[in-house]
Amino acid sequence: MKKTMLAVLMIVLLAATGVAMAQGWGRGPGYGPGPAGPGAGPGAGPGSGPGAWGGLNLTPEQTQKMQAMREGFFQETQALRNEIQKKQLELRGLWGQATPDQKQILAKQSEINALRAQLQEQATQHRLEMRKILTPEQQAQMGAYGQGFGPGYGRRGGGFGPGRGMGFGSCPRW
């Protein structure tokens, strides 16, 4: 009886894991043309909301260039984001041991921090390149937001949506 229950439990667990993994990484809320067009609000365009691209009155050409650059950035950083996730899983495994090894945990955390710093540097370069697409007036508007693309081009739930800056979520969603 115990073996049957264990087998059923394992099958259900594997099925649930397969369904969760099949959904892919996605980009979270705020990405893609919403009902009112680019930049018109939550779910309405890249980053969405008036604090992001919508508040800059981008031309269609600017929007197209920025979207292409962002997609390129996603592709370029895919391996790095996957590596970060892999290291985070390894760290979780180290913490899950009966007697966690402090040196291994600290070493793994250092590896993760180095990868995150590398990703952040690439994200900064990406933001600087995207600023070059804007007119001087649009850049002046953006300066009011501080670090980059203002609220909307950042993380919320790990994807694009209202947030601050370009952030890496708990899943590789950007």
Predicted pLDDT of residue 37: 40
Residues 18-39 have pLDDT tens digits of 655 555 555 444 444 443 444 4
**What is the CATH architecture assignment of 48-150?**
Up-down Bundle (1.20)
Predicted pLDDT of residue 97: 95
What does the domain layout of the chain look like in residue ranges? 48-150
Predicted pLDDT of residue 140: 85
- Is 150 in contact with 52 (CB distance < 8 Å)? yes
Predicted pLDDT of residue 41: 39
User: For the chain, which residues score pLDDT lower than 50?
Assistant: 27-51, 147, 150-174
